[in-house]
Amino acid sequence: MKGDLIIFGTRSGLSAPVWETLKDKVKAAKNNGSYVMICVEPSARQNYAPILKLQNIDTNDTRYIQTLKYLKYTSYENLKRLTIFLAASFFNYTATIEPPIERPLWGIYHPDAPEIFNNLTSYLQWYNNTGKYNEDSPTIGILTTEYTDMARDGPLLDALIRSFESKNDNVSLD
């Protein structure tokens, strides 16, 4: 493996066999001058202690800390901003660095809404004002996990909401 910057994001973790397979290649890349960053949330670092020895970017380095912020709210835009941030931070690329776009990780989501709502009253007020609410139809409540990876989960959630709404059902995705 060869590269200037190698980043591993481990939100859901990589199994020991995967790391065993990659370990020698990552060490070789690091010895060839590559930067190696293994992005693990601070609360999970102890679980990844042997793996973290492979990196050469300190977890207290501001570039590491900022990278975690971009990865916390995964989206196309944040990955684009992360790429520019990393190029400017590690390789003297000249560009305007934009901060990560943050959003609530919990709440009531709708693809047409301007925000993720933190309470049902606000959501229902917005939903009713859009003309989507149909008082003669049932309201479908959908429970989901936190909204960290909308690049991955957003299209599925959007399709699910639109599917119910196409049948004139009301939807609340929490």
Q: How confident is the model at residue 2 (pLDDT cuts 50, 70, 90)?
A: very low
What is the largest distance, in Å, between two alpha-carbon atoms of the chain? 67
* Residue, of 78 and 12, whose pLDDT is higher: 78
Please name which of 31, 43, 42, 22 lies closest in space to residue 7, comparing C-alpha atoms.
Answer: 22
For every residue of 20-63, DSSP letters joined together read HHHHHHHHHHHHTT-EEEEE--GGGGGGGHHHHTT--S-TTSHH
Average pLDDT over residues 100-124: 86
pTM (global) more than 0.75:
no
* pLDDT for 126 beyond 90: yes
Tens of pLDDT, residues 26-50: 888 888 888 888 887 777 667 676 7
* pLDDT for 106 beyond 50: yes
Average pLDDT over residues 135-141: 89
The pLDDT, as a whole number, for residue 1 is 39
Give the whole-angstrom CA distance, residue 168 versus residue 131.
11
Of 69-78, 90-99, 135-144, which range is least confident?
A: 69-78
Of 8-17, 19-28, 74-83, 144-153, which range is least confident?
A: 8-17
Average pLDDT over residues 115-122: 88
* pLDDT for 152 beyond 70: yes
3-class DSSP string for 96-156: CCCCCCCCCCCCEECCCCCCCECCHHHHHHHHHHCCCCCCCCCEEEECCCCCCEHHHHHHH
